[in-house]
Amino acid sequence: MGYSVEETVRLNQLFDIYQELLTEKQRVYFGYYFSEDYSLSEIAEILNVSRNAVHIQIKNIIQHLESFDAKLKLLTNKNLQDELLEKLKKENLSQETLELIEKIEKVRF
């Protein structure tokens, strides 16, 4: 079960947004696997469960995160907002407008 860098970045972004909707146990599994880069076997040993149990947990967590974003679209909308703000910055805007754009970027998650 390997993930590309792009997939890992996306999953971490989803986790940053939706982690409060996961259980503590799910957050621990996700943290070990994606943040601390532990192998399934290492996590299984730490948590005293089978490697297969870790594998299933990771797959379920990913499904939950994807499901949350399919319904709520927070990451999807954030990425679209980022694109639009970048396009705006390239326009010939006043300093005041550029400062407003920066403020908008700071208050978003």
What are the helix and strand counts (H, E) for the chain? 6, 0
User: Which of 60, 54, 20, 58 has the alpha carbon at shortest distance from 40?
Assistant: 54
Whole-model pTM: value is 0.81
**CATH code of 10's domain:** 1.10.10.10
* Residues 13 and 45 both lie in one domain: yes
* Residues 67 and 88 both lie in one domain: no
2 has pLDDT over 90: no
pLDDT of residue 75: 94
Is residue 27 within 8 Å of residue 16, measured between CB atoms?
A: no
pLDDT of residue 34: 96
pLDDT > 90 in the chain, percent: 74
* Residues 57 and 30 both lie in one domain: yes
* Residues 31 and 67 both lie in one domain: yes
* Residues 63 and 90 both lie in one domain: no
Q: What's the total number of domains in the chain? A: 2
* Residues 85 and 38 both lie in one domain: no
Rounded to 5 degrees, φ, ψ at 88 are -60, -45
Domain extent at residue 38: 5-72
- Per-residue pLDDT band for 108 (boundaries 50, 70, 90) equals confident
Greater confidence, 105 or 38?
38
* Residues 9 and 58 both lie in one domain: yes
Quickly tell me which residue has 């006043």 as its tokens: 94
Residue 47 Cα to chain centre, angstroms: 23
pLDDT of residue 29: 98
